[in-house]
Amino acid sequence: MTANARARKYEPRMAPETKVATSAMIASLAAEGYDAVPAPFGHALVQAAQTDERIVGLTADLAKYTDLHVFAKAFPDRFYQMGMAEQLLMSAAAGMAHEGFIPFATTYAVFASRRAYDFICMAIAEENLPVKIVCGLPGLTTGYGPSHQATEDMAIFRGLPNMTIIDPADATDVAQMVPAMIAHDGPVYARLLRGNVPSVLTRYRPDYQFQLGKAQMIREGRDVLVVTSGIMTMRALDAAELLSKDGIDVAVLHCPTIKPLDTQTLIAEAGKGRLLVTAENHSVVGGLGEAVAATLMRAGVTPVFRQIGLPDQFLEAGALPTLHDMYGLSTTKVAEQIRGWM
């Protein structure tokens, strides 16, 4: 790409300030009442790359839809547009990792998990290379139907040796997971919240800091323990506020790292006699819920256990608020389900 072409490509997304904005920055979920941060992944990657020349960014024709365009604008010589070729994207990232770089490869979650899985397996995971795979549209964060809804991505990657999996809840998680991913010497798959991302966790815990492999209690409660990841942490916190009006006290344990799971914290919290509910923006097959259940069974901890998640089926297309109501992920539906189990 020539310098003039690159300037034309990114000029419409230039903001008057130093931040880079884009018309593609549309929040992937309803988050009324929360402040939003624009492109936290892109800006965090730029910040990290300013002091670490090993960081490069690659994408499969989706820079502006994974917020990697922010990095591309700041470091055009370290940005690689691979075109609509996800297998090539992952293979090139592996090659660059072999040469000492830390590649961040972005695409949609469906394309990484379904289309490029074998290349990730053989070229990245088996070699235990520090390739960071960051993917937009995880779970039910798009209404475009099964072709774009990655409802089984965590199940696919959970079985892959050497692969770390992150499902961030908000802008704080997204920004802080970037340096943690860089520091981790191995491959990482991260679900990406893109565009204007709500800031949720620090409202409840001002001192919250993302820690790789660590679950953290965001809200204490005596009656119910909701173990969550991703956008469902926000929904669980909002549902807990609704349920408190009914005298139901809900604790929310946020697990941003799906693999490795924080088994020590889970076992300790699950043994306190509360109803345990897992909530995830993923199929009930193979994700957080089943990982938690297996962990507790192996440890001999057996609370009353329920799951909130997406059904084992291909989902409908439509408006996200309608779909979240339909499949039980909205705040009111989460509250209704918990209330019904009490």
Which CATH number fits the domain that encloses residue 333? 3.40.50.920
Question: What percentage of the chain exceeds 90 in pLDDT?
Answer: 90
The answer, yes or no, to whether residue 204 has pLDDT greater than 50, is yes
Question: Is residue 13 scored above 70 in pLDDT?
Answer: no
Q: What's the average model confidence in pLDDT over 73-77? A: 98
Distances (CA, A) of 176 to 129, 133, 211, 257, 295: 21, 16, 8, 13, 26
If asked whether residues 79 and 171 sit together in one domain, one would say yes
Whether residue 263 is predicted with pLDDT greater than 60 in this model: the reply is yes
pLDDT one-digit tens code per residue, 265-307: 999 999 999 999 999 999 999 999 999 999 999 999 999 999 9
Q: Are residues 88 and 232 in the same domain?
A: no
pLDDT tens-place string over residues 122-154? 999 999 999 999 999 999 999 999 999 999 999
Q: For residue 78, is pLDDT > 60?
A: yes
Looking at residue 26, what is its pLDDT?
41
Instruction: Calculate the average pLDDT of the chain.
Output: 93
- Residue 3: pLDDT band (50, 70, 90) is low
Statement to judge: residues 248 and 179 lie in one domain: no
What are the residues whose beta carbons fall under 8 Å from the beta carbon of 142, sequence distance 6 or more?
A: 28, 148, 149, 320
Evaluate whether 279 touches 309 at the Cβ level (below 8 Å).
yes
Residues 256 and 299 in one domain: yes
Q: Which pLDDT tens digit goes with each residue over 206-262?
A: 999 999 999 999 999 999 999 999 999 999 999 999 999 999 999 999 999 999 999
* The predicted structure's pLDDT at residue 2: 45
Does the structure show a pLDDT above 50 at 17?
Answer: no
Q: Are 86 and 115 in contact (CB under 8 A)?
A: yes
pLDDT band of residue 32 (cuts 50, 70, 90) is confident
Both 228 and 151 in one domain: the answer is no
Same structural domain, 231 and 324: yes
Percent of the chain's residues with pLDDT above 70 = 91
Distance CA 234, CA 320 (A): 16
Total domains present in the chain: 2
- For residue 100, pLDDT beyond 60: yes
Averaged pLDDT, 28-45: 88
Per-residue model confidence (pLDDT) at position 7:
47
Please list the alpha-helical segments (H only) found in the chain.
3-10, 40-49, 69-74, 86-98, 109-110, 117-119, 153-158, 171-183, 201-204, 231-244, 263-270, 288-299, 320-326, 331-341
* 271/301 same-domain check: yes
Domain that holds residue 151: 3-198
Average pLDDT over residues 71-96: 98
Within a domain: 205? no
> Domain holding 86: CATH number?
3.40.50.970
Looking at the fold, whether 26 and 141 belong to one and the same domain comes out as: yes
